[in-house]
Amino acid sequence: MQIRLSTDLDARARAGGAPMTVDELLARFPDVPRDLRDEPVLAEYAAAFGPLLRLATKPSPCMGQGGDAEHHFYTRLVNDLAIYGIGLARRDRTLARLQATLDAYRKQPATFACTLVPPKAPGAKRPGCG
């Protein structure tokens, strides 16, 4: 499976050629709690997933389980941090989930993004509001 990005998304992903920093991650996603700023695993996470995080977009509630690749990137890469940020998860478990995601990425870096996006049936309608 290969994720093909539209030309505008591909350009956005390539625009940030340097690895993402923690400060950029925190600026892009205000729902990521600031108390994690000095965690080494967050710096590794930002650097490893920077290109995907630069594409990530928070899905609207009406998308349900659907959405485009950038919505799935948000759901799979930012949600754990946001859940911790509102107090519904413990810090140690959140950091462990980040580390587990990094470990999975290191096993298959070339195809990891494909594992974040569920396959769609041919001809399936795009999700969205109304």
In a domain, 100, yes or no: yes
In a domain, 121, yes or no: no
In a domain, 125, yes or no: no
- Reported pTM: 0.77
Instruction: Please state whether 64 falls in left (phi above 0), alpha (psi between -120 and 50) or beta.
Output: left
Write down the pLDDT at residue 116. Answer: 84
* Count of domains for the chain: 1
In a domain, 77, yes or no: yes
Write down the pLDDT at residue 71. Answer: 84
Write down the pLDDT at residue 126. Answer: 57
- Each residue's pLDDT, cut to its tens digit, for the chain (130 residues) gives 445 555 655 555 555 578 999 999 999 999 999 999 999 999 999 999 999 999 999 988 776 666 778 888 898 999 999 999 999 999 999 999 999 999 999 999 988 888 887 776 555 565 555 4
Write a three-state SS string for 100-121. HHHHHHHHCCCCHHHHHCCCCC
Chain-centroid distance of CA 68 in Å reads 12
> From CA 69, how far away is CA 127, in angstroms rounded?
12
Domain of residue 81, residue span: 7-116
Write down the pLDDT at residue 2. Answer: 46
In a domain, 127, yes or no: no
Write down the pLDDT at residue 67. Answer: 72
Half-sphere exposure of 52 (CA within 13 A, CB side): 26
